[in-house]
Structure 1
């Protein structure tokens, strides 16, 4: 029988403190009944033999010391079924799309755990996002966690939506040949977004039909901060169920992790914890790792979980604790650049500081195309050289540069205009991306392509492109 207490001693921000006469389990779910009869759900955040701290999901407004507290003896569970695909849920996991109630096949605690390293399958196999700057230069690999670093006001949401509706695992490119019939699903967890952003997300999902293969969790900016702590865990529990029970390749997109970390800081302040860097909790690294490490593949399992966390860097500072700690845990980063955005480049991905640490293991023959690695390396080197020369032009002028230097400057301009620039509605196959890459590399003499195998130059180099460039010069 559930015991009911009327022993609330303090209410501080999103937290309620109450006295108890027996130990209560950590993470246990609590119901708080206010004097007007409304019920609020909460979770045990701190416990001792005589007192507990409860974080209240719906906020503490209306709760006073006359409210009663009931401990349910269980942790927060997620109702799971394959029929969740196509549904829109609140940040607390309740349906908000007007559809029927969820009839679960099973329930699971949302506090999952990282995949056992011994049971992990090494991430391999290319996920095609349809975005050349990602597919060609910073390839997303099945089972990888690859964050998107952006800043306030940049179009990271548009890029996230583009990836959500375009991403696929090309079955015919699988290196192992065991993915036939495996489906692709997207779990989209939005935390602390505005109502306007939520409307844009839903309009895009419904307009493009992407909602049919997606589960959307929406936590709005005016929802309680505590709910933001729960939202990604609900999303990842759903991802694990679809991936490892039903064999889906799941892409989990979480935006914005900065709002999640701000909620951590708010709760830490309410608990009067000693703050760490810039006021964030000292355990933020561990907390983020408990989310990011739920991505991956498991030996003997067909499905996989790939994560694309999105965070807005405060003041565009990549050394800020949130991107800094995220970079330690994850396998690279995609950088959304303000300068490219101001030039009208869509999507404004800066490939030079971007990195996918697992790219080499998921591209090449059997995955994408045999020349992919060499093309990416040569494009990177040529663009970096052209980009460096732009600084020199500002000092000495373009006329003072050699013909070779001018060619690299032209290469850098065309790389941004043709390779990176594609708009948010264009879906390019990896073949199209590599074809554009060879068009650009053919601007340079073959002897400049020192990172590409001669066999690939003979097969893919375009003499007509080089002749056209020389004629214009």
Structure 2
């Protein structure tokens, strides 16, 4: 395991049983929760684990590499006396590692000047600074309508078959913090080997510039490793942000795979299941990850979290998106209808929301007209949806000329603002200019949310 020194330790040979990814060790003394464990079979091939619980001298250990091929009678367990720690520092930048932080890029192990527990430390709420200033993704529909703010946690809700991984990789490749020191930590959990190759290729340029940390847990890696991957990612990000002074974007995909790994461990432990067989502590577990983002008073940098999750059967009330929505500050929702129209990224703008957008956009942050343009577009989209429903009932011929303008607006919005190439980077200026062109398909009388000075500057005629 990366960053684990070779302690002098007592080894126990009292492994009672192996149960799926768990090992039960009897007659232990002085062992604590979340303690790191080294397990050594007779073959000498070392495996690693974490203590899940201790009760009257019996420890339940979560084995990161799984327990396949192990014989409990021939297994030695050594408890290290501390939680799992990893080295931290800029040495992670430009590296590609597996979900446990071990190199996949043929390089040496990652080294750092110090080591930090992967569980992180709770942040005193009094020391938190409110999120402020934007992280620009280069994706028009996000930058214009659901602006991502430094220190925010903003999830992407998707469904099977939608291009959420492509969108996550594009955001990771293109995002900037307005010229300030910036980097990305990308944690992929349960992805296929083809998807892992896609992510590596898509982020190759950012990695070569030493602006990326890439952690890849593939579908055939141990399920338990998925519980560790986001924690390592956030631990690395916290040091890069609050010690090195960078603004860090942490992309975590797919959080549904993470939750399913948590459910599997819970079932192996014999815990009483809650909704959809997920453990009752799913909310607090997800919060322990998402709440590690933010800005801290007196420290440089920020950690912004973009979790990506697939909703089983597209059900937004499923426990994982449902609880994620409670913890985070908005959501970006991908739509099957937009995807069927051939629009990329297929974002449903009316279902998407960034609750902190006003903290990171507008005068002095992006552009003076940004918030007004976004509000007018969303208002017009809501009206266009009503008009489309009416047209389905009475036919387009029965619509007024104004209503037909809204149908034109809806098409212009999808094709002129939302739709862009997977490798296309749009500046905020380009995005807002496209937004204006879309809005000007409507007559001035329908642009009531835009101040007159903005309309006059665009020479929008009265009554037009």
Give TM-score, length-normalised by structure 1: 0.94
Give runs of aligned pairs for residues 21-420 of structure 1, distance below 5 A.
21-66=28-73, 67-171=75-179, 182-206=180-204, 212-420=210-418
**Displacement of 1:110 after TM fit?**
0.2
1:6 matched to 2:4? The reply is no
Inter-CA distance 352–210: structure 2 relative to 1 (3 Å threshold): farther
Of 226-235 and 420-429, more deviation after overlay is shown by 420-429
Give TM-score, length-normalised by structure 2: 0.96
**Displacement of 1:383 after TM fit?**
1.3
Deviations 1:438-470 (A, max 9, x none): 112112222211111112111235559x98xxx
Give the Cα separation in 1 of the matches to 2:292 and 2:100. Answer: 19
**Displacement of 1:95 after TM fit?**
1.1
Give the Cα separation in 2 of the matches to 1:412 and 1:103. Answer: 52
Inter-CA distance 185–461: structure 2 relative to 1 (3 Å threshold): farther
Of 427-436 and 229-238, more deviation after overlay is shown by 427-436
Give the Cα separation in 1 of the matches to 2:298 and 2:10. Answer: 44
Give the Cα separation in 1 of the matches to 2:37 and 2:458. Answer: 64
DSSP-derived class of the 2:338 partner:
helix
Of 439-448 and 287-296, more deviation after overlay is shown by 439-448
1:17 matched to 2:24? The reply is yes
Task: Name 2:436's counterpart in structure 1.
Answer: 438
Give the Cα separation in 1 of the matches to 2:351 and 2:208. Answer: 30
What 5-or-longer segments of structure 2 have no aligned partner?
A: 1-7
Of 277-286 and 48-57, more deviation after overlay is shown by 48-57
2:444 and 2:461 in contact (8 A); partners too: no
Inter-CA distance 55–26: structure 2 relative to 1 (3 Å threshold): same
1:205 and 1:211 in contact (8 A); partners too: no
Give the Cα separation in 2 of the matches to 1:293 and 1:208. Answer: 26
Give the Cα separation in 2 of the matches to 1:58 and 1:192. Answer: 14
2:12 and 2:28 in contact (8 A); partners too: no
**Displacement of 1:87 after TM fit?**
0.2
Kindly tell me the number of residue pairs found equivalent between the two proteins.
456
Inter-CA distance 250–420: structure 2 relative to 1 (3 Å threshold): same
Deviations 1:300-323 (A, max 9, x none): 222000000000001100000000
What 5-or-longer segments of structure 1 have no aligned partner?
A: 172-181, 468-473
Deviations 1:87-120 (A, max 9, x none): 0011001111011232221100001134221001
**Displacement of 1:208 after TM fit?**
6.2
